[in-house]
Amino acid sequence: MSETDCITLNTELNRNAGQHILVTGCAGFIGFHLVLQLVTKGHLVHGVDSLAASYYGPEFKQWRLSQLGICPSFRFTCCDIRDRDNLRVVFREAVSKRPVDAVFHLAAWANVRDSVLNPGTYYESNVLGTLNILEICREFRVQKFVLASTSSVYGAGLDGPIREDTENSRPLSPYGASKVAAEAMLHSYHHLYDIDSTVLRYFTVYGPAGRPDMSVLGFIQAIHEGRPITVYGDGTQRRDFVYVDDVVQGTLASLPLTGYETINLGHGHPHPLNDVIGMIEDALGRRAEVRYEAENTADPQTTYADINRAQALLGWSPTIGIEEGIRRTVDWYLNSNGWRANWA
C-alpha cells in the first residue's frame, strides 16, 4: 500500500466514519495482514504490540510495522499486554479521540515447542494478558471482542474433521492449555458483562510475511539457501494449512457476530508435511536436504478443521489452495529483499 493510497483511505474514513478498532499483536504475522485489510476497508485502527518473541527476533516484527506506519489511519503503541496499567493508558488515549468499537486480540506467545521450555511466559501472556485486555474492555465498555485461538486446544487422537464442540480439556502443550484458559475467560466475561465475543481457532496459517519459526517460511528460506531442514517425525504428519488472506477474510467476517461463538478457520483439507516440502521444492526449483528427528510429543499427528460453522455463520470458505498458496509465498520471499535484510 502506498502513502497516496493511505491518504485517500484516511479521507474516506473521516467522511464515512468507519469503526474504531484496536488490534493487539498488530506486528505479528496475522495481525499485520489484518490491519492492512481493516485500513483498506476504511476503519481507524490502533495497533498494540510488544515487538517481543523468544522464538524469532524483533527485526521481523519491526519490518512488518514499518509497512504499516505510512498510513495515517493506523496508529501504533508499543505495549506489553501483561502490563495492565500501561494498557489502561493506551485505551484512555484511544477513547479520548473516539470510543473503541471492537478489539481483535491476536497478541500471544504462539510457539508449541517454545511453550514446553517456557510455560510461565505463555501463561503470563496468553492467560493473564487476555484477562488484562478483558478488564480494560469491561472498564471502557467495548462491545465486541474477537479472540485469536488455535487448533492446539484440541489435543491428540483426532484424525477426522474436528468440530468446534470437540472435547478440548486435554491439550498437548502449555501453549494449547493457555488458549483453552483464554477462551474460558472470554466466555465468563461475555456471560457477566454481555460482551459480544467470537473465538476463532486458527489452524496452520502460512503466507507472505509469515513467522520464520514455522514450517513453510522456515523451509523456504533454508531450501533456497541450500541448508538442511529438520522435520520432527517422519513427515507423514498432516497439517491443515490455510493461507493468510483466507484467514483474514474469515476474521473480518466475524466482526458483526453477536453473542458468543467459537469457529474454526482452516482449509478443511490436511496435507502431509512431506508433500508440502515437495511443493516448496517445485516452487523454488531446488531439492531439500531433509533431516528427520524424533517426533515432538507436544504436536498432534493430524490437524483437520471442520469448517461447516464458518461457512454457516460467516459465509466464509477458503479460496486459496495449498499449491497456489505455496507459490505465492515463495514468490513473495524471492522478491522481498527489504524483508530478507531484516530476517532474524
What positions carry a catalytic annotation?
Answer: 175
Tell me the C-alpha distance between 80 and 194, whole Å. 26
DSSP letters along 263-311, please?
EEES-S--EEHHHHHHHHHHHHT----EEEEPPPTTS-SB--B--HHHH
- Give the DSSP letter of residue 125: I
**What are the cell numbers at 49?**
504490540
Tell me the C-alpha distance between 318 and 150, whole Å. 17
Closest CA to 14 of 75, 73, 70, 71: 73
Closest CA to 30 of 211, 228, 261: 211
What are the DSSP E strand ranges found in the chain?
A: 20-24, 44-49, 74-78, 102-105, 144-150, 196-202, 204-206, 229-232, 238-239, 241-243, 260-265, 271-272, 290-293
Euclidean distance between the first and the last CA atom of the chain, given in angstroms as a whole number: 24
Residue 256: half-sphere exposure toward Cβ, Cα within 13 Å: 5
Longest dimension (CA), the chain: 58
Q: Which residues pair with 119 in a beta bridge?
A: none
Q: Which amino acid is at 93?
A: E
Place of cell 477458503: 318
Tell me the C-alpha distance between 46 and 76, whole Å. 6
